[in-house]
Structures are given as C-alpha cells and as structure tokens.
Amino acid sequence: MAFDLEVNGNAYSVEADPQTPLLWVIRDQLGLTGTKFSCGIAQCGACTVHLDGLPFRSCRVPASVAVGKSVTTIEGLSLAGDHPIQIAWKEFDVPQCGYCQSGMIMSSLALLKKTPDPTDAEIDAEITNICRCSTYHRVREAIHRAAELMKA
Amino acid sequence: MSKLKLDKNQKDNVAIDRREFLAIAGAATGALVLGFWVPQKRANAAENSGATWYEEPEVPELNAWVVIEPDDTVIVRIAQTELGQGVWTSNAMMVCEELQCDWSKVRPQYASVNRDVRESAPEWTLNVMGDGAFDPIGGGEPLFRGREPVRGIPDSLYRRMRTNEASSVRDGRYYLQLAGAEIRERLLLAAAALWSVPTAELTAKDSVIKHEESGRSTTFGKITHLAAETPHPNPETIGIKPPNEWTLMGTEQKNIDVPAKVTGQVVYGIDVRLPGMKWAALRACPVYGGDVKSYDFDTIRDLPGVNSAVQLPIPDPSLLRGRQFSGAVAVIADHWYQAKTALDEMPVEWDIPSENATANTADMHRKLVSLLNESGSIQVDEGDVETAILGASQTVEAEYSTPYLPRARMEPGNATVLVTDERVDVWIGDQSPQETRRSASVITGIPEEGVYIHLCHLGGGFGRNGNGPQAEQAIMIANANRGTPIHLLWTREEDFVGTTYRAMGVARLRAGLDADGWPVSLEVRTGMQDDGFGPTSSFATASRYYAPNYRFSNHTTNFHIPCGTRRGVGQAAHEFYRETFIDELARAAGKDPYLYRRELITRTNLPHRDDMIRALDLVAEMSGWGTPLPAGTARAIALEEKGAEASGTATISAMVHTVSVSQEGLVRLERVDVALDQGFSLINPLSVKKQIEGQIIWFYNDAMHQANTVLEGRIVENNFDRFSISQIKEDPPEINIQFFKTGHWMRGMGHDRATSVQSGISDAIFQITGKRFRDLPFSKHDLSWG
C-alpha cells in the first residue's frame, strides 16, 4: 500500500508494506544509503535516525510509525559536512571504517539537543551505539567539541 | 553512447562515460541504462573523498598508479582496500611524498582489479632496493611469499592487492614511493625538454616546477600530457627518499575519506545500486559442512516482491583456501527485506554430517587439553628442560585457554554481481580481490580477463578471510540469473555463519625457577585446530624471556569450524599466555613484574633486545610505575612484539594498563600507557594512534566479553545481543601514546598491538581480588572481592 513520509524536509510517497522497517524504506526505496544496517535487532545503533528530533533504531521501527512525523537521516544534516557535529567529527578525524558513524552522529546529535553540554557520565549513559573499530575515544572528544560549536 | 543517463530517483548521481561501465552496459541484456549510485563527481578533489571505483582517465595516465589532470588534481590508484586502517591516506602519502604534488589536490581511487590480470608490473618495481630491514635508505623488507597469484605476491600490475597482515605499508612502500618518483622524474624531463634546460636546474614542489635561473614555472597539470609521452630512460636508476628527507610521510594527516564518512556519502558494498538489480537473502546450513536437503519455494512463491529461489552447493574449498563452509539457499526479490522475510517463512531442511552435528565447545576444549599431554610437534628444544626443572627451587605451571572469536565487522557480508556471457562484474568490499577474481572465473567459466571487480570501502575488516564466501555465493546466484544484477546481503546472523573464526586455543606453560626466582627452564605447549593461524607465534624460534632450557611444542587436531586470520592472528592468544605467565612467575619470585621482564630480556641475545628494553623503560616511566594507587586499582605491564626474535622487520611495544575492579566485580580499564617502536619512521602517525586506540578496545573486548561457543555443531552467539561488543562507557578515560625511533623498518601496525590488555586485566584482577583467571573472557567469572 502507499503512504506518505517526510524525510529530511522532503515529502515522499512510498509503496510498501507499512510493517517494513523504516530502515529498509529509507535505504532501498528512498535511496538514502547513509543510514546503515548491521544487526537488525536494535542493538548496535548503526541505523539510528531521528523521528521528530528523537533518536530511533530504524531497523525495528515499522515505517508506518514514521507517518506524520518528521524523519531526519544523516543526509539531512549537511551533505557538505558543515553541520557543527560534522565539523567536530572531522576535527578529531573520528571515523575509521566509518560504517557506524552515521548512527553514532545521529545519536550524539540527539544527546546534544537534549543536553547541550553533556558530562562524560551523560555521554556514557546515552551513547549506546556500537563501533567495532572502537573510535569511542575520539567520539567522546568530538561530542564535547560539537557542544562548544553548537553553543557558539 | 557518449553519456549514460541518470536514474531519475538518484539526482546526486552523475553520468559516467568510462570504458569499464560502458562495457557493462553493452554486455547486459536489453537496453540497460546505468545510473550508478556513486559519489558526486569531483568539483574539486576535496569534495570527492569517498570511495570511488577505477575510472578510465580523461587524460593519459602517467603510470599505473597516477593520473594528473590539467587542473592539477592528482588521482592516486589504491590497490588495497580501505577498511578503517587509513590505507587510502597512507598509500597516497607514499606516492605523493616522492611526486612532490599539492596534497590538497589528491584524490584516491581504487585500482582496477581487471587491469591487474591483463598487465604485468613494470620491471622497475620488482626489485626491492637497499639492504633489508636495517637500511634506512632502502626499501625495507617485504614479506612476499613467492610470486604466484593466490598465496604469494604475483608480478601482475598491482602485485599485492590484498589487505592483510598489517602489511600495506611494509610490502608496498618501496614501489609506491618509486611510482611517485618515476612520475616526478618524467615531469622534470618533460619540463626540461620544453625549456631546453638541464633537468638538474629544475625543482618540483607542491605541483609546481620551477627553473630558478630563468624564472620560468609551470604546473604538473599543464605538462601532464608531455610527461605522459616522456618515458624515463632508466627507471631502474631512480632511488627513493630515506626518512630524513620525508616532508609528507611521517606527518599526521587526517584521513582523506573522513569528510565523506561524516555525511553518509561513502559507498560501501551494501550501498551499491544498479538498475534492474534484484536482492538476495541467503541461509546457509548453520552447521559447517552441512548442505540443503530440501526447501519449499512454493510456500513463499506468491509473497510480495518474491522472484525465485536458488540452491547453492557448498562453496568449493579450493576457492576459499581449503575452508569448508555450508550449502545454502537464496531467495531473490525486488527488495532485500522482502527476500529476507520470505526466506524466514520458507521451510528448509539440512543434510548435516553426523560427526559435525554433535560437536560442542566443551568437548572440543577437552580434546585440546588432552592433546597437551601428548608429545606434539616440537618446534624448539634448547638445553634439557626435563633435567633442568628437577634442580629448580620451585615449579610454576599454568593452563590457559582462549575461545573461538569472529571478526564481527559492522557491515554484514554482501556483494553485487552481474554475470553475462562475456564478463562478470562484482561490486564488493574485499580484502583479497585477486582471489575473488579467480573465484568469479572458476564459477562462471569466464576468463579472469573478463572479470571486473569494483572495490568498495569495507565496513570493518579485521582479517582478510573473514569475508568468507560472500563473493562466491553472490557469483553463484548471479551466474544462475545471467543478465540480472544480484545484490546478496547476509543478515547479521548469517554473517556469523559466513565468517571464519580465530581458532580456540589452549596452552600449558611450566617453568622451574632458581633460588632467586629466575627461570632455569621453560616449557610451552600450545594447542589449537590444524588449520588455525599463527600456531607458533610469540614462542617460535626462541623464548622472548630468557630461560637457559626452553622447549616449545604445538599440538593440533581437526575441528569443523573454518578458521582464518582474525586481527592479531595467533599472536593475540599467545601473548596472553606468555605475558600472563611471566606475571605469574614474577609473583612467584616475589619480584616487580616490570623489572622481572626487563632482566629476562636483558639476559637474551635477541636482535631487537635493546628496543624491547627501551619500550619497557619508557612505558614504566610514562605510567608512573610503582607510584601509589587507590584501593581497588592496580597496574600491569606487558611486552608486545612481532618479529623481535629474528633479524628483520619488527614491531615492538610495551603497555601499562591501570585497571580498577569494584567490590561488586565491575572491571574498568582506567588508563593505558603505550610506548611504541616507530622504526625509522611511521607513515601517518595519526592513523597509528587511531589504530592503537581501536586495538586497545578490540583486545579489551577479547579479554572481557567475547567468545563464540559451539553447540550441536553450530555457533551459538550469532548477533550482538549474545555476542557482546563494548560501548563508549567502557572506553578507557586516559590513553597516552609515545613513539620512539629505532634502527629498523616496522613490521606493521594494523592488528597486533594492545594484545596486552588481556594479560593486564588478568594480573590487575589478581592483584585486587587475589583470584587468577586463565581463561577468556573474564566477564564469565565472579570478580567481586572484599
């Protein structure tokens, strides 16, 4: 069946089973491949997107849940890479393989929106994404740096 | 056809009018119009930093590695795969150091795997110059194992296209530097001819060639056509710069593809989209060696989007270095999620060899331990350990074990394949594309010259053959559907079936100590399955810690789990055994573990002895070794080395781990101090720091969390709920890294550092709780105290 989605400010009409996870609609039908599939059971966070500004693991969110909400993916930040969080990420050269980083950035951005100047303990509690290359050391530094940039 | 039309839904796409892609369009059935999902075509180099496939150049190439465009953009072809280790940056740095081009205009691109089989390597790249590992002006010491295509390094155009053994710098540096130098010399020859001046009067820097005397200057881009027509008369006379002349190599450079990784624009294999492409989901028999007995496609035939099903035989082990995986069935659908959900509903029955069907890790572990009681295969036998131990004041014996471990890279296995009657195209993130090229040829019957592999960035690698049969399965499916591009994607659960494992291992170490606590004898027995990798590392040839009588044997048997070269290979487990045992000896001797190690290394005559001592001394100083710590916190020190026993390349480091254990038994790695040998020089110290940070957590996970068990022949932990990967909250708050220069070329940095996290946590737990654990991971034990 057809339903409407708003993703990164664009309106899309999608023809799919509404129970299809939002991840697969985003990746395969809208062609936005920055959001990644890794575990499929909402454990790793590689598929994190925002629904009305809140982080969700899109591999377990039926697309129908996103109807009427504003969906933001990594492509919705800045394709030129000039969003403050992207600038901070580049400053610390955070990614290694990079596969988890879209989700890591979206989770971190959600944290910064809720908690503009997070402590290390707040980062520990909120950032539960998995990075197999273990870029965590730089992720933490980049979150603190992004907090500064976003305040400015 | 001059331009390929864009898919209307992919507005960021660009027309590609390159020969390789045209050829695909021509070969595909019908009027297939290609609109590839590729990164934005360059507006300038900086905007196009994501993965890009080989493109036929618009201007003549200068050699197989470099194209310089009239706007001074320098395209550097990279023959290894970027999987987070920074090879796109470090390989480009090695070329550009010699080329003397403007680094901001460098644009890496994957080298053509197809050209690699059609063309031979230039003669001038074949001989390593200089005098081996200890010659700063030479090429170092590659570890080529014969020039044959599969196991060794071929003489094909790009020679070694694999990405493994932390060897991209070690094995490639001299000929990548040469590739850059050859072009620089030809650019200078072209300018000299143009201006009728001697080459010696010209300088090249930042893509500008100047003639000081006449004030003339030009850019690389302006004379690229001339240089392309100017062969070098004697390329074998070209030398490469020693480290003291480097200006780009040895400096911290941010990774060139990071900008594309923070915008989601990097193309991994999973992101490849082709017009007319179908998706495949696959289920392989979860017991290795098993095959499909039956499946009932009729039950899912009418589900939305479902096209067909294909049964796949057990992939030919000769294509997978002898490893046996399983037979499988794949469902093909319009979208992957349709294929996956349909496959979930389809009944499948397996034929499972009975000897595999009952295998479990408890029995396998018992078997390995029992092998340690037998004589095994003796690798080293110096002096007489049996007699020496009789005269010892005390004897220390310990038995250790390490589990099966997978890579568990974040990107599940996948490949996109189009087979026609003339050619095979494969889009894949692949650590050994030359072998995949051969697989494609063997499976389809199309010669390797007709196989085109379009390399993509990999979402994590961690061991070359961890890719398993992703390519072979996708090629088999596409071969059964010629003319239709097929994108195979494994689920996470399937990725745990398709990967290879680091072999489960056991070790028994026994030492006799004299009255002062120094070893008079050391005997090491290690056990793992036959095809496990690195069975002799860390103990081979010599004990790193001095014992006048030393024996080392390994003990093997056959198991059905396919083993491969996981990050750290055998060294990771073996250094856990060795360093934990040395801690146990130091404690039995009542000596400081740092000074105990230092003395035992000092007593050796190993070629890299002094560098090992420097590493220990430096890290002890960095960490404040011996200064007081709060209750419940302890320090442990360990040595890490690859190659220290032999006279050649080596990588040596020492680490101190400061670890706390709460009374409830919660372990925290608080601080890690690292002293790392940088040889004559590192290439990109920033990448090395990132690699160390990553490997600390890699081996922290090995120490604390990770294990795969086998029950009824199958791997039990097959997703991230049961196979645990640590989060940011477990990252050590403090990591201090210092490099020290030594007089040799390095062995590599990508995979075997920070193995000492394992012994470090073990010894810290012992210091704090009084409990000594010798089997990984530690989280399965009660670590509470007080």
Q: What pLDDT was estimated at residue B152?
A: 63
Structure tokens at B430: 């692949």
CB B326 within 8 A of CB B468: no
Q: What angle do CA B140, B141, B147 make, to 5 degrees?
A: 130
**Following DSSP, what letter does each residue of A48-69 receive, concatenated?**
EEEETTEEEEGGGSBGGGGTTS
Q: Which chain A residues contact residue B733 at CB under 8 A?
A: 120
Q: With 60 as the cut, is the pLDDT of residue B31 above it?
A: no
User: B37 pLDDT exceeds 60?
Assistant: no
Per CATH, the number for A2-76 is 3.10.20.30
Q: Do A97 and B492 touch (CB under 8 A)?
A: no
**How far from the centroid of its chain's Cα atoms is residue B283's Cα?**
26
CATH fold for domain A84-151: DNA polymerase; domain 1 (1.10.150)
Give all domains of chain B, ordered by start, each with its CATH number: 1-36 (no CATH), 45-261 (3.30.365.10), 269-355+413-489 (3.30.365.10), 361-405+502-780 (3.30.365.10)
Residue B14 pLDDT more than 80? Answer: no
Q: For residue B109, give the amino acid letter.
A: Q
Question: How is B405-457 classified by DSSP, letter by letter?
Answer: B----SSPPEEEEEE-SS-EEEEE--S-HHHHHHHHHHHH---GGGEEEEE-B
Cβ separation of B725 and A94 shorter than 8 Å? no
Tell me the average pLDDT across B85-104. 97
How close A130 comes to chain B (CA, Å)? 6
Q: Of the candidates B263, B461, B492, which has its C-beta nearest A39's C-beta?
A: B492
Instruction: Kindly determine whether residue B492 and residue A77, on different chains, have CB atoms separated by under 8 Å.
Output: no
Residue B232 confidence (pLDDT) above 70: yes
Mean pLDDT of chain B: 92
- pLDDT tens profile B615-644: 999 999 999 999 999 999 999 999 999 999
Q: How many Å separate Cα A13 from the centre of its chain? A: 22
* Mean pLDDT in residue range B579-607: 98
CB of B185 within 8 A of CB of B228? Answer: no
For the residues B424-435, what does the mean pLDDT come to?
A: 95
Torsion (CA) A131, A132, A135, A137 in degrees, nearest 10 = 90
Q: Do B410 and A38 touch (CB under 8 A)?
A: yes
- Chain A residue nearest residue B40, CA to CA: A79
Residue B55: per-residue pLDDT = 87
Helices in A81-133 by DSSP H: which ranges? 84-91, 101-114, 120-126
> What residue segments make up the domains of chain A, in order of their start?
2-76, 84-151
The model's pLDDT over B366-410, given as tens digits with 9 standing for 90+, comes to 999 999 999 999 999 999 999 999 999 999 999 999 999 999 999
Please enumerate in sequence order all residues whose Cβ is within 8 A of that of B709, keeping only pairs 6 or more positions apart, or say none.
B360, B361, B403, B404, B715, B716, B717
pLDDT value at residue B52:
83
Q: Read off the pLDDT of residues A35-66 as tens digits, 9 standing for 90 and up.
A: 999 999 999 999 999 999 999 999 999 999 99
Does the beta-carbon distance from A99 to B460 stay under 8 Å?
A: yes
Q: Which amino acid is at A141?
A: E
The pLDDT, as a whole number, for residue B149 is 58
Chain B environment of A20 (Cβ under 8 Å): 337
Question: How far, in Å, CA of B238 to CA of B383, rounded?
Answer: 49
Tokens 């670890």 correspond to B659
Question: Does residue B11 register a pLDDT over 60?
Answer: no
Residue B28 has pLDDT above 90, yes or no: no
Q: Tell me the chain A residues in contact with residue B85 when contact means C-beta distances shorter than 8 Å.
A: 96
Shortest CA gap B138–chain A (Å): 30
pLDDT 10s digits, A71-130: 999 999 999 999 999 999 999 999 999 999 999 999 999 999 999 999 999 999 999 999
Euclidean distance between CA atoms B140 and B721, whole angstroms: 45
Whether the Cβ atoms of residue B353 and residue B289 lie closer than 8 Å to each other: yes
What integer pLDDT is reported at residue B165 of this predicted model? 82
CB contact under 8 A, B255 and A120: no
CA B591, CA B418: separation in Å to the nearest integer? 64
Phi-psi region of B632 (alpha: psi -120 to 50; beta: other; left: phi over 0): left
Nearest residue of B to residue A93, measured between CA atoms: B254
Q: Which of A77, A79, A99, A100 to mutate to test the interface with B (most CBs of B within 10 A)?
A: A99
Contact B162, B464 (CB under 8 A): yes
Length of chain B: 786
pLDDT at residue B225 is higher than 50: yes
On chain A, the residues whose CB falls within 8 A of the CB of B336 are 24, 28
For residue range B462-473, list pLDDT tens digits in order.
987 767 899 999
Q: Compute φ and ψ for B223, nearest 5 degrees.
A: -115, 15
User: For residue B9, what pLDDT band results from cuts at 50, 70 and 90?
Assistant: very low
**What contacts A143, CB < 8 A, 6 or more positions away?**
A88, A108, A111, A112, A118, A123, A127
How sure is the predictor about B146, in pLDDT bands with cuts at 50, 70 and 90?
Answer: low
